Chain A
């Protein structure tokens, strides 16, 4: 099979790294060759963050280039817009509708763009959910990342149990119930 590319984008602190690690290990279990690329350090501090997940029979580059992503999983609306050029034309966009103002907007030097959802709908195969509300419903607003992994899981043909097994191995035991609930809410959103 051709190598498939997923891009996970968000704001530093939203838990994109954990999401990409869960995804990577699920794909490993399905017998794929997998590469996951992360960025650590300064950009993790509230800036735009991107992780790439690529899988197939044999993966070469760990990075997804412009026009190369089959799926973009966006943890924040503005970051979804920023990632648009990376999506293959007609690719799938899974979006959390949460908005987090970047510093130029906070300072009044820029406006948070209006109409992002419409633009995404026009340019991609869009699914938009309010993952923050679903995470709160699951019992912890920090579980946004696991809600979104649930949303992504639904678009694959990988069985539900494989995801929850990997989830159980990845998150601390005391948060497992909340995370399972969050995953399920995302999956059925």
Chain B
């Protein structure tokens, strides 16, 4: 039966049809739905791990034990899991192991634009890259065959446009979900130096075998249109090239992007006057071509930055420019904002008011960097708020430290904030750590985590007590506060900042988009308004100035009541629906 499936859903379908029995991941756009779709198959064990490293280690264990295992992450998540991945390349597998990694060219929802293909080369792990949903399913199944045939983990690389596009997929019956026998084999699975020395040689042998496989696999295809222009491409960029050039070019489409074939590329290039390599981000394929002595045009004609486009390829290669209708004048930008009712708005309103330096982290609350809240000073990676604030405090001293806080979400704190907090305590640091506990992993679309008390399947489980956890690592002052009670919240932040020891404030209020959160009615600005502008400083999308005065848009307002608490003249009232 043909279905319209998201690339990520098709990848999950492929895992199901391949008989995968274990999935462990940490959410990260644009990879999250692979795991969420796997959950829909009752026979696959799925879990959210606290971070990507734990997820990958669990998947490695599941594969060594004999099951087919999957772990999924976004490109920066692969940095977090790099340690186990590099050594899993040495141990190899028993049951197949696939690491799905979703890159984000154009940074739709990411802090950098790194190209994961370098990891394949660095870790000596084969990498497949599908171009649409049908290939997502087929390549996922092929990845498990390669994994078991060559005794290796396999990377499955997506980019945003493949992960988040839907296209047609023919579903098939699943293979039986078998778990192979496990035999103790210390020489293969215990990576002490004596064993690793031998395994490295095995890895190099495997690379030679995979290189031979790259020459003949039908993952790589040639499309001959009798053209003088040849295009070597992979993934989404192949679809752009095909759209732009049609049968005016021949194509070598690479489904296996590591290792890359040599003879196949040389033979293809020999038949063409001009050969272009079309690939977003780094010149990964291009450098391989040049290293094997094949002349190609790549980054001298196309950008290292952002996404490619059909128009750009058509213009550069064919010199054809498409007619467009420019809009008149300026079109104001519409950057993302915190939702109406977002609990983080209360926190950042207070931090901005107090003029604090704020070390930020990764989540919806990164939007606290945007105007008018403009609170956040730094954002680097998951967990870096707590540890970066520690470094700042050590360099700048006590007085600076009294005006310094770090903010981190509940899920991010468990991911890698807790280690930073232990560092601060152990090394006699100072500063206030605000855990933004909104009862869910928000930005990636509401995933449960160890602080929510529910598993990925919504079953009740042990819940991490954040306050107890912080006390256990040595934080003496742990306070819980509601960020919508702005007066009390402000007072608590002031008190904690004055202390010369590290302290934690848990800002507790659930995400406004959770089904359990039911704000009703809406807020109205009454005649008591003195036009002081305080309410506008909250950056609520429902409050705007009309004819010189703030007005609340009833279609946007969800009645959360934060503005009622902010208004110094009690001029905002809540009205029932």
Q: A62-B167, A67-B311, A106-B544 are in contact. Are A35 and B132 (CB under 8 A)?
A: yes
A81 to B330, CA, bound (A): 10
Q: How far is the CB of A41 from chain B (nearest CB, A)?
A: 3
Q: A45-B364, A65-B311, A102-B335 are in contact. Are A85 and B326 (CB under 8 A)?
A: yes
- 21 CB contacts below 8 A, A to B, read A12-B336, A13-B339, A28-B4, A33-B168, A35-B165, A38-B165, A40-B109, A40-B445, A41-B444, A42-B29, A45-B336, A60-B243, A66-B324, A67-B311, A67-B322, A67-B323, A86-B324, A102-B332, A104-B371, A106-B543, A110-B332
Contact A106 B167 (CB under 8 A): no
Contact B324 A39 (CB under 8 A): no
Q: Check: A36 CB closer than 8 A to any chain B CB.
A: yes
- Contacting residues, chain A, for B334 (C-beta < 8 A): 11, 46-48, 78-79, 82, 102-103
Q: Of B331, B334, B338, B370, which is in contact with the most chain A CB atoms at under 10 Å from its CB?
A: B334
Contact of A106 among B4, B168, B310, B541 (CB under 8 A): B541
Q: Check: A137 CB closer than 8 A to any chain B CB.
A: no
Q: How far is the CB of B231 from chain A (nearest CB, A)?
A: 13
Q: A46-B338, A63-B309 are in contact. Are A68 and B322 (CB under 8 A)?
A: yes
Q: Check: B44 CB closer than 8 A to any chain A CB.
A: no
Q: Check: A101 CB closer than 8 A to any chain B CB.
A: yes
| Interchain residue pairs A-B with the least CB separation, the first 10 | A41-B109, A41-B29, A47-B336, A102-B334, A62-B165, A67-B324, A110-B332, A61-B243, A67-B322, A60-B243
Q: Check: B461 CB closer than 8 A to any chain A CB.
A: no
- Contacting residues, chain B, for A181 (C-beta < 8 A): none
Contact of B367 among A45, A63, A110, A123 (CB under 8 A): A45
Q: Check: A107 CB closer than 8 A to any chain B CB.
A: yes
Complex: chain B residue closest to A80, CB-CB: B327
Q: Check: B517 CB closer than 8 A to any chain A CB.
A: no
A124 to B338, CA, bound (A): 33
A165 to B260, CA, bound (A): 47
Which of A's residues lie within 8 Å of B, judged by CB?
Answer: 11-13, 21, 24-25, 28, 33-48, 59-63, 65-68, 78-79, 81-82, 84-89, 98, 100-113, 119, 123-124, 132, 141
Contact A89 B325 (CB under 8 A): yes
Q: How far is the CB of A158 from chain B (nearest CB, A)?
A: 15
Complex: chain B residue closest to A98, CB-CB: B555
Contact of B337 among A36, A103, A111 (CB under 8 A): A103
Q: Mark B6-50, 1 if CB is under 8 A from A, else 0.
A: 100000000000000000000001101100000000000000000
Complex: chain A residue closest to B363, CB-CB: A42
Q: A42-B29, A104-B333 are in contact. Are A62 and B161 (CB under 8 A)?
A: yes
Q: Check: B458 CB closer than 8 A to any chain A CB.
A: no
- Contacting residues, chain A, for B335 (C-beta < 8 A): 47, 102-104
Contact B242 A34 (CB under 8 A): no
Q: Check: B477 CB closer than 8 A to any chain A CB.
A: no
- Contacting residues, chain A, for B543 (C-beta < 8 A): 106
A108 to B370, CA, bound (A): 15
Give the size range of B's interface with the partner: 35 or more
Q: Mark B182-199, 1 if CB is under 8 A from A, else 0.
A: 000000000000000000
Which of B's residues lie within 8 Å of A, judged by CB?
Answer: 2, 4, 6, 29-30, 32-33, 108-109, 132, 160-161, 164-168, 236, 239-240, 242-243, 309-311, 322-339, 364, 366-367, 370-372, 443-445, 536, 539, 541, 543-545, 553, 555-556
Known: A60-B242, A82-B331, A103-B539. 16 other contacts (CB 8 A): A35-B132, A36-B165, A37-B164, A42-B109, A43-B336, A47-B335, A48-B334, A60-B243, A65-B309, A65-B311, A78-B334, A87-B325, A100-B541, A103-B337, A106-B539, A113-B330
Contact A36 B108 (CB under 8 A): no
A110 to B371, CA, bound (A): 13
Contact of B30 among A41, A47, A89, A141 (CB under 8 A): A41
Complex: chain B residue closest to A29, CB-CB: B4
- Contacting residues, chain A, for B239 (C-beta < 8 A): 60-62
Complex: chain B residue closest to A39, CB-CB: B108
Q: A61-B310, A84-B325 are in contact. Are A100 and B556 (CB under 8 A)?
A: yes
Q: How far is the CB of B446 from chain A (nearest CB, A)?
A: 12
Q: A40-B164, A110-B330 are in contact. Are A89 and B323 (CB under 8 A)?
A: yes
Contact B108 A42 (CB under 8 A): yes
Contact of B165 among A37, A66, A86, A110 (CB under 8 A): A37
A62 to B434, CA, bound (A): 42
Contact A61 B240 (CB under 8 A): yes
Contact of B166 among A36, A47, A61, A108 (CB under 8 A): A36
- Contacting residues, chain A, for B32 (C-beta < 8 A): 40
Complex: chain B residue closest to A52, CB-CB: B165
A42 to B368, CA, bound (A): 13
Contact B371 A103 (CB under 8 A): yes
Q: Of A33, A37, A67, A141, which is in contact with the most chain B CB atoms at under 10 Å from its CB?
A: A37
Contact B371 A107 (CB under 8 A): yes
A28 to B5, CA, bound (A): 11
- Contacting residues, chain B, for A123 (C-beta < 8 A): 325
Q: How far is the CB of A143 from chain B (nearest CB, A)?
A: 13
Complex: chain B residue closest to A35, CB-CB: B167
A8 to B217, CA, bound (A): 39
